[in-house]
Structure 1
């Protein structure tokens, strides 16, 4: 189906949901910029902070540490800012990373609430 602007029609959101700490990748299409907003990468970033590191987040999510690291690298490249300070012993969010994580937590919580409301209302006409 084509939109009146001549652009290919795409849904604004395509969400695959899983448990809060085992969130499956989510992506949203941002038409004005013709790009996918990587909610899966964003969820992984928050999980890294919540679990205290790449390996712990990877284990909790059933992913490899490499996949988790690549997700953060993609985010940092897309945003043009370093989100995490990495050493061999620990990771810590940069000031930008901490602010970003705070915003992401609110966004991801709002998505969870929206999905719960839809599921809750499913049985009603």
Structure 2
């Protein structure tokens, strides 16, 4: 068995042991069985989340929700990075630039959270 297949089998075994359910539905990309993990559909071969949609309108909604979630994760990560840089900074100009960057990131993150809440809640 190739290393990729070994990884796939290990992910399947780990998922099943942790309570995931193997479904009869297939991944639209690789045709492997989908798994339900914590209420979400996953293709363990592609190692990606799968979102089912019924029509074109749902495609837009699903993409928007997914994009906002990805944006939220990226922004949160950048806030951590800038905060760490800020804690190490000693030069006043560098501190000012990092503080401005942090402020912009936090405002954008807040907007992202509001949009996610508006769409999901």
TM-score range, shorter chain: 0.3 to 0.5
TM-score by length of 1: 0.33
TM-score by length of 2: 0.33
Structure with higher Rg: it is 2
